[in-house]
Structure 1
Amino acid sequence: MVGIREVAEVAGVSMSTVSQVVSGNRPVSAATRARVEAAITHLGYRAHPGASQLRGGRTGTIALIVPTLENPFYPLVAAGMQDVLVPRDILLTVTDASGMDRSTNAIHRLLSRRVDAMVAAPFGIPAAGLAELHDAGIPFVTLGEEPPGGGDYVHSDDVRGARAVTEHLIARGRRRIAFLGGEESVIPTQQRLEGYRAALQAAGLPLRDDDVVFTEYTRQGGRDGAALLLERDERPDAIVAANDLIAIGVLDVTRARGLRVPEDVALTGYDDIDAASLVSPPLTTIENPAREIGRACARLLLERLDGDVTEVTRAVALSNRLVVRDST
């Protein structure tokens, strides 16, 4: 099937420009429109049926599509969105799109139900899925990174957060600090790894490849990664986990092996989900403002729906903070 990406390449424009021509939501120069329409004719491209929905009635429904609902971070994003949407009498529908095939299918099915707008957490969603959002011509916001072709997005500074928590460990006298990340290819892992490495480099500590392990953003992922790190002859004296669920999995392994946290190995998480303060010992972590992220996403969507903005791309950056507890 020919998609918006192929049309954009043939016309020599961005995907967002093709979307604007197809949807008619924003002005495009006559010359650019002619190039896009010629490419559409040449390729036999057909716009997604959702492309006309803004021109004809709304459903009063906005969708949130996330990689998993097992991570408490995403329900908090949903709660923040509802803080803004409920007073406007707009219904929020939340979809767990675990895996790439499911995410693409979920986007297609949500669009076929004519949702008015959508928020998507892009990791785990292939480029084709995001391109389909452009095709639909509806407002959408991505979490964490600017979508291909432009668009609104909301993020917190993961590089800064991971650097702060690593610097905290260094200040506590830890010198062999390991990083236990989620899936290697996703943006949050890359940014948090960057912050970890920047802190080590600034402190003059070595960057050892075998001190970096990638796993999944789950409690089981934390168990699997911790088993690799802690079975070594020279085990780390601290572990920076890329989220709190991974860190909780590390606690499972340290407890099973008779290791004390923080005496034998200090441990940090990321996100500050409720469980971070409930486990023993409570986790030092980075507060990632999930609820405010949700509110920001909803505000951006409502401004698009109300026709209050014309910019192709807008970014909202939210701050995060270090929360120190007993695990360090």
Structure 2
Amino acid sequence: MAKLIDVARRAGVSPATVSRALNNVTTVDPTLAERVRAAADELGYRPNGVARNLRRQRTDVWALIISDIANPFFTAVARGVEDVAQGQGFSVLLCNSDEDQDKEQRYLRVAEQEQVAGVIMSPNTRGSDVSRLVNAAIPLVTVDRSSHKAADSVMVHSRAGARDATNHLFATGWSRPACLTGPERADTAQERLQGYLDAVKDARRRPAVSLVRHADFHEESAREAMGSLLDERRPPDSVLIANATMALGALGELNRRGIKPGRDLGLVAFDDTPWARFIDPPLTVVAQPAYDIGATAARLLTERIAGTAPKRARHVRLSTELIVRASSRHIR
């Protein structure tokens, strides 16, 4: 059976170069990497992953734990993570927690038992216990929401994005905007609510408790919350919605009641999903750089694994972008 040293001799390189090339490390010259792979194929060499992991006490696998695989935001985050991971010679195990604490803990237990190289996760809204990762010295980066102050994190300026969106509604002529946000215990939901309240205050309007609804980031609960807003004695004339999945529920309720966005009610939602520009009317959104969130988290994790990161936790905040479309304009 061919050994790594045999491949190195055939390719005319060092064993370390063979290891990096076969692990798809991007710093290896592409021509050199191709020569190494050709030599490995000629000799029938296959890396012994089990032995390698025993020596290193770590696998070449990351666990990516997201809270809702059906949400396009997390799909884009996952793509960003995977692209960077592949470039650094790591594979990614995708885990969907469904905002379920028990399910999330099972995935964290597996990550600990399998000694993954690192974990990137979107903590659940009820709070995530990551102590087993800390105790096992497995590097962790959180995305979208924070969970552990000692862990690196990548989030967006949700409060500023929500403030800009609500200011846009006022500037466009809507006078009574509402906020349909996530669970009270979720920090992103609270940040988006605070941004909305900032804009209401800036407009010298009195915040109305009746114009705020909390839902669980899912379609059905958002549909019910939108119905509740519309049933108010003085209903809103516009709504800021905390994510795209919730926007679908809200749009369903508006459609059921024959209410047209942009004509009867102004609408802005977080996340620029593929369908947002194709509905009638196209949806005004607060676009989050989801791919960049994943890619940034992956780069932070790579540095943490390599031991080149500073000891202190790094908390990165990326900017949002307001993309104005017809749903927030007064269509006549």
| TM score, norm. by length of structure 1 | 0.80
- Alignment of structure 1 residues 98-117 onto 2, 5 Å: 98=98, 99-117=100-118
State the distance in 1 between where 2:165 and 2:176 align.
14
Post-superposition shift, 1:101? 1.4
**Would you say the 8 A contact 1:81–1:298 is kept in 2?**
yes
Aligned counterpart, 1:284: 284
Maintained 8 Å contact 1:66/1:121? yes
SS at match of 1:269: strand
SS in 2 for 1:274: coil
What is the DSSP-based 3-state SS (H/G/I as helix, E as strand, rest coil) of the residue aligned with 2:130? helix
Give the conservation status (yes or no) of the 8 Å contact 1:144–1:187: no
Match of 1:323 in 2: 323
Aligned sequence identity (%): 32
1:63 and 2:63 are equivalent in the alignment: yes
Deviation digits for residues 230-259 of structure 1 (CA, Å, limit 9, x no counterpart): 122321100110112212211111111111
Larger Cα-atom Rg: 2
Aligned twin of 1:126: 127
- Give the aligned partner of residue 50 of structure 2: none
**What secondary structure is seen at the aligned counterpart in 1 of 2:326?**
coil
Q: Secondary structure at the match of 2:57?
A: coil
2:83 aligned residue: 83
Alignment match, 1:160: 160
| Aligned ranges 1:232-243 → 2 under 5 Å | 232-243=232-243
Match of 1:5 in 2: none
Matched residue SS, 1:132: helix
5+ residue gaps, structure 1: 1-52
Across the aligned residues of Structure 1 and Structure 2, the Cα RMSD in angstroms comes to: 1.7
Instruction: Check conservation: 2:174, 2:237, Cα contact below 8 A.
Output: yes
Q: Distance in 2 between matches of 1:122 and 1:133?
A: 13
62-71 or 310-319: bigger deviation: 310-319
Contact 1:104 1:126 in 2 (8 A): no
Asked whether the 8 Å contact 1:104–1:125 carries over to 2, the reply is no
2:266 corresponding residue in structure 1: 266
Q: Distance in 2 between matches of 1:233 and 1:54?
A: 66
For the 8 Å contact 1:175–1:205, the answer to whether it is kept is no
1:1-328 matched pairs, under 5 angstroms: 56-98=56-98, 99-124=100-125, 126-127=127-128, 129-328=129-328
CA displacement, residues 100-139 of structure 1 (integer Å, 9 cap, x when unaligned)? 1111122112221221100111233634x22222112011
CA contact (8 A) 1:54 1:138 kept: no
**Number of residue pairs matched by the alignment:** 275
**Conserved? CA contact 1:133–1:140, under 8 Å:** yes
Question: 1:162-213 CA distances to partner (integer Å, 9 max, x unpaired)?
Answer: 0000000000111111111111210110000000000000110110001101
| Cα distance in 1 between the residues matched to 2:66 and 2:238 | 30
1:171–1:302 distance in 2 versus 1, CA, 3 Å: same
Matched letter for residue 57 of structure 2: G
1:65 shift after superposition: 0.5
Secondary structure class of the residue paired with 1:84: helix
Paired position in structure 1 for 2:24: none
In the aligned structure 1, how far is the partner of 2:233 from the partner of 2:64? Answer: 45
CA distance in 1, matches of 2:126, 2:220: 22
Match of 2:11 in 1: none
CA distance in 1, matches of 2:140, 2:226: 37
> Which amino acid in the other structure matches residue 260 of structure 2?
R
What is the CA–CA distance in structure 2 between the aligned matches of 1:146 and 1:55, rounded to whole Å? 33
* In 2: Cα distance, 1:309 partner to 1:261 partner: 47
Q: For residues 305-324 of structure 1, what are the alpha-carbon distances to aligned partners after superposition, in whole Å with 9 as ceiling and x for unaligned?
A: 11112322112221111011
For 2:216 and 2:304, locate their aligned partners in 1 and report how far apart those are by CA, in whole Å.
Answer: 35
How far apart, CA to CA, are the structure 2 residues paired with 1:300 and 1:311? 12
Instruction: Tell me the amino acid that sits aligned with residue 75 of structure 1.
Output: T
Deviation at 1:157, TM superposition (A): 0.2
* 1:71–1:218 contact (8 Å) kept in structure 2: no
Query: Which residue identity is paired with 2:272?
Result: D
Deviations 1:268-288 (A, max 9, x none): 100212222232221101110
Counterpart of 1:126 in 2: which secondary structure? Answer: coil
Q: 1-side partners of 2:54 and 2:327: how far apart? A: 50
Question: Which residue is 1:8 aligned to?
Answer: none
Q: Give 1:153's aligned amino acid.
A: S
